[in-house]
Amino acid sequence: MRLSRPAAAGLAVLGIALILVGPPLYASLRGTAKPAAARVAPAAAKGPRTVFPEGRLPRLTRADGTRRTVLSLLNAPARMTYGQFVWNDKDVPAGETWVRVDLGRQMLSVFRGGHEIGTSVILYGADEKKTPLGDFPILAKSKDHRSSTYDAAMPYTLRLTADGVAIHGSDVREGAATHGCIGVPLAFAEHLFASAAKGDVVTILP
């Protein structure tokens, strides 16, 4: 499902934001002066994650307008690059799993019970085959899926649409795009595949 593209010049023509990868979610929320829902209260760094104080918890909006409360975020590097991810679900209790994809920042975050347990740089669709926006319940899981359309391996597939758009393991590198899927590093895809279940919602934002 991955579609290689020439670096630099070709990417400029396509208009794909693949040169500078956005900061992880906490760095992006901290200090923002945008909507009130995105402002965060002072928080305490606690080991690998930042925990927000009770009563002043930030909330993130899904595509349908509903909001999800954030209890903690991972302390990821200030800026991540291709192939990088952070996964740490140690001591995070069971709870609803929600995946948030921010195409503009080229980042994906995984939440469980309000705690961020994973974040990764992603690939997404080229202009001629854009990644769809919205809230998508996971329709099916397939550990060793192979695309019949593109004859390409799609390991740890989480299928989101009837026409085959999915999150799957990929070679996340500069100069690459997809045919509409969301590509994540293989090791991250394995963690996500083990944590997500059919019916869990994936929100894809512009």
Q: Which domains does the chain have, with CATH numbers?
A: 2-205 (2.40.440.10)
Q: How many CB atoms lie within 10 A of CB 116?
A: 28
3-state secondary structure of 50: strand
Highest mean pLDDT among 19-33, 85-99, 139-153: 85-99
Higher pLDDT, 77 or 84: 84
For 128-177, the pLDDT digits (tens) are 889 999 999 999 999 987 876 776 788 999 999 999 999 999 999 988 88
Beta-carbon contacts of 56 under 8 Å, excluding residues fewer than 6 positions away, are 41
**C-beta of residue 131 within 8 angstroms of C-beta of residue 124:** yes
The residue whose two tokens read 């693949």 is 18
Q: Which neighbouring-strand residues pair with 141?
A: 158
Q: Note the pLDDT of residue 196.
A: 98
Phi/psi at 62 (5° precision)? -85, 175
- DSSP readout, 112-180? ETTEEEEEEE-B-B-GGGPPP-EEEE--EEEEEEEETTTTEEEEEEEE-STT--EEEEE---TTEEESS
Q: 78 falls in which pLDDT band (50, 70, 90)?
A: confident
Q: Note the pLDDT of residue 177.
A: 87
The residue whose two tokens read 């740490």 is 88
pLDDT of 27 over the 80 cut? no
- Over the chain, what is the mean pLDDT? 82
Q: How many CB atoms lie within 10 A of CB 84?
A: 17
Q: What is the mean pLDDT of residues 89-107?
A: 96
**C-beta of residue 27 within 8 angstroms of C-beta of residue 80:** no
Q: What is the mean pLDDT of residues 47-69?
A: 93
Q: What is the mean pLDDT of residues 30-52?
A: 53
Whether the full predicted model's pTM is greater than 0.85, yes or no, is no
**C-beta of residue 120 within 8 angstroms of C-beta of residue 22:** no
Q: How far apart are CA 30 and CA 202, in angstroms?
A: 23
The residue whose two tokens read 């669709």 is 125
